[in-house]
Amino acid sequence: MGGNSPCASCKLLRRRCIKDCIFAPYFPSDDPQKFVIVHKIFGASNVSKMLQELPVHQRADAVSSLVYEASARMRDPVYGCVGAISYLQNQVSELQMQLAVAQAEILCVQMNHESLMPPSETDLHHKSYLLQNNLSQIPDFNTPSNVIHHSPSPL
Ligand SMILES: [Zn+2]
């Protein structure tokens, strides 16, 4: 850049694009709108200062972040990027609530299903074991001692 083809910034600011123009690498003349919105929101001198404070390898990322923020602020002058972020955060918490409700419903359905299902094999083993144990504890009324107890006393 530089020389006779000024970068988008210098073209808009109507100044000569010098060899080391700080804007030139990030605001090429074929995409003038990028600088228009950044200049409108932040001001060219602020953008220049911000870029000067950054190491060269971070400037491209800073410019795309400034462009993103500026276009968000054009669409939503009050909230800018924050508008999009809080919209998405609301969506996330709404979906988390829906997920929790769905998981609770699944649990309810599973529990109802289990109570209707015939007992599994392990349940059967467990029950028959209990049954046997209970039976062995039931007193046997046919033993002689019981017969004696229950027989009517002679008059
Ligand atoms: Zn320039």
Q: Is 48 exposed, middle or buried (0-12, 13-18, 19+ CB in 10 A)?
A: middle
Which helix (H) or strand (E) is 8 found in, with range?
Answer: helix 8-13
CA of 121 to the centre of ligand 1 (A): 81
DSSP state letters, 33-95 = HHHHHHHHHH-HHHHHHHHHTS-HHHHHHHHHHHHHHHHHHHH-TTTTHHHHHHHHHHHHHHH
Instruction: Report the share of the chain in percent with pLDDT over 90.
Output: 68
Higher-scoring residue by pLDDT: 99, 125: 99
Paired tokens of 139? 């007193």
pLDDT at 114 over 70: yes
CA of 65 to the centre of ligand 1 (A): 19
CA of 43 to the centre of ligand 1 (A): 15
Q: What is the pTM of this model?
A: 0.61
Task: Please write the tens of the pLDDT for every residue from 87-105.
Answer: 999 999 999 999 999 999 9
For ligand 1, the distance from its centroid to the CA atom of residue 103, given in whole angstroms, is: 58
Task: Give residue-wise pLDDT tens across range 63-73.
Answer: 999 999 999 99
